Structure 1
């Protein structure tokens, strides 16, 4: 048996059921990233107030013939007023000299005051905006936290990681010398997400982040005379020099057996030679079709594979990095600007 620890992983949840759910996920994280896991269950409205803790060992066999690897897991439950002292309990349990990752797995990001010292002690804080109950409002509020704690806390978003294949496909549309000029002529972006499934909320947040990414990378700015972008389905108006760009993030009803996986992106360029670049998820969860239509030329279409990114894989990938993701921060700030009242 080999005891192994490369980092401290603090997981924050807000009810007992979420604590049980995360236990299975932690086992999978430990296979790739041996760690001391500290699962904090903070039941804010529970009574009577109190604090309890227990420790256990989690052991795995990485591969046939290799030694059994065991990691420590500490389970802490704080109820009511006891939450105020969480930092005094959690910080001493962090392994000295090793990176600390805080995984916020509690929906809307609204940390209690006692979590602030833990946030500042973390190498990186992982959130998942897919769990935000009101993506438009919650992303704007989260952007405020990121801005407020800049220089002290490094944030990352698992939902941003889920968008990586889509961002790569969009970028590939403009990789060539022939298509790159169309970026400076974009006038309309349409992002559609499925509206009648458990994945609809996830995709709403993704559509906003994708829009924010495009706008921030291309130097677009929210137009002051924009239509009411705070309402779901209403377009956002942006400007780049003297050019206006319209972005729509809209729900779409889809007839598919793969609930929550219907999404499409279309980018339209104006000028003397108008063009449209589009991506649409296929009937299965693992494929997408890209299409390029340039005036006066036959359309070009191809089918590409989309590799699904499960939660544990996203966490393991984020643990590999310690630095800031400035591209994400700028995309998030753009979402906040686009959805701000009066924008």
Structure 2
């Protein structure tokens, strides 16, 4: 069921929600949280589709805040709120309200959203694109216990990660971090199966994918080792290599569905490691509402500490024309030993 409201108010929207629930025969509310999506008209459809799919696991009231651009000074000075209320099958397993803001009300979106929040329920704010530099200081972000961004959608993902590290507040998270959950699980399990001391690591993936940097930062922060970032054709993350005292541990995914795990003194094995869609990533982030300390530690490790493949170590001379075999990949192993990196044991990966 859809209810369109033009030039409306928050109280009228609340009344329409009650009337809509009664009309479809569900007068009571069984939702567990309020999900606020802040986006533009271009990305609203995809974001709402992902939220509806995630609501099967987390029934929620979804508020989609769409800030419309006014073309003339007269329109920008006029405040206006249009809404579309969806209940029943139109809204997944919860309720959906599309809020289109015009004029001066754009700068006061929190005053529109606040009366529509579910009472005594947690609030999650998600920016699919154009996230603020400091989500916790944003007027809408200040209403939430959990704030979700996506560095992958940024024009410069590396700068986005630097900004996230500088402004991190407990409760912040990023979908680029959720994308590497299966990789972190596989690598931690591999170290559990093969007790060893890890000296260095290499992460390989497509160029503009911040999940590669986050995986490298996680390895560096948990194992206290030098990490090299290598660019590949993708898609996404393609490989992670750990150099240990017992051999090289490799998790290689040349395609987007199946990976190969290679461990010393063990046969190679195929593992499922498919790329997940936005709905699955969002559902994962909605499972926990407490601060993610591991994500915070990875951010604070610093993306600038990752080495680029082919970059010489500070204590080693760069390759010369007379030494064509001294490539960046060949330098990584001895450089890690000469740098005096303190290797960590496998338990640190957890």
State the TM-score, normalized to the length of structure 2.
0.71
The structure with the greater share of residues assigned to helix is: 2
1:300 matched to which residue of 2? 267
2:144 matched to which residue of 1? 122
Equivalent pairs, count: 278
- The match for 2:223 among 218, 225, 230 is 218
CA positional deviation for 1:323: 0.5
The alpha-carbon distance between structure 1 residues 261 and 119, as it changes in their structure 2 partners (threshold 3 A), is: closer
- Cα deviation digits, residues 64-109 of structure 1 (max 9, x gap): xxxx986432222234543221111111211111111111112454
- The match for 1:265 among 236, 240, 244 is 240
Unmatched segments (≥5 aa) in structure 2: 1-24, 307-313, 315-350
Q: Are residues 1:281 and 2:253 paired?
A: yes
Residues of 1 paired with 2:92 and 2:106: CA distance? 32
Residues of 2 paired with 1:138 and 1:261: CA distance? 18
The structure with the greater share of residues assigned to strand is: 1
2:282 matched to which residue of 1? 315
- The match for 2:36 among 3, 7, 10 is 10
Residues of 2 paired with 1:85 and 1:319: CA distance? 26
State the TM-score, normalized to the length of structure 1.
0.72
The alpha-carbon distance between structure 1 residues 158 and 70, as it changes in their structure 2 partners (threshold 3 A), is: closer
Native 8 Å contact 1:57 1:71 kept in 2: no
* Structure having the higher Rg: 2
Unmatched segments (≥5 aa) in structure 1: 62-67, 196-200, 221-244, 254-258
1:58 matched to which residue of 2? 87
Native 8 Å contact 1:51 1:76 kept in 2: no
Native 8 Å contact 1:208 1:335 kept in 2: no
Residues of 2 paired with 1:73 and 1:108: CA distance? 21
Q: Secondary structure at the match of 2:129?
A: coil
- Cα deviation digits, residues 204-227 of structure 1 (max 9, x gap): 31111011101111235xxxxxxx
1:230 matched to which residue of 2? none
Residues of 1 paired with 2:217 and 2:305: CA distance? 8
Native 8 Å contact 1:209 1:335 kept in 2: no
Residues of 2 paired with 1:336 and 1:192: CA distance? 15
Q: Secondary structure at the match of 2:284?
A: helix
Output aligned runs, 1:133-152, within 5 Å.
133-146=155-168, 149-150=169-170
- The match for 2:229 among 232, 241, 249 is 249
Native 8 Å contact 2:66 2:101 kept in 1: yes
1:90 matched to which residue of 2? 113
CA positional deviation for 1:332: 1.2
1:225 matched to which residue of 2? none
**25-34 or 207-216, which moves further after superposition?**
25-34
Residues of 2 paired with 1:173 and 1:325: CA distance? 23
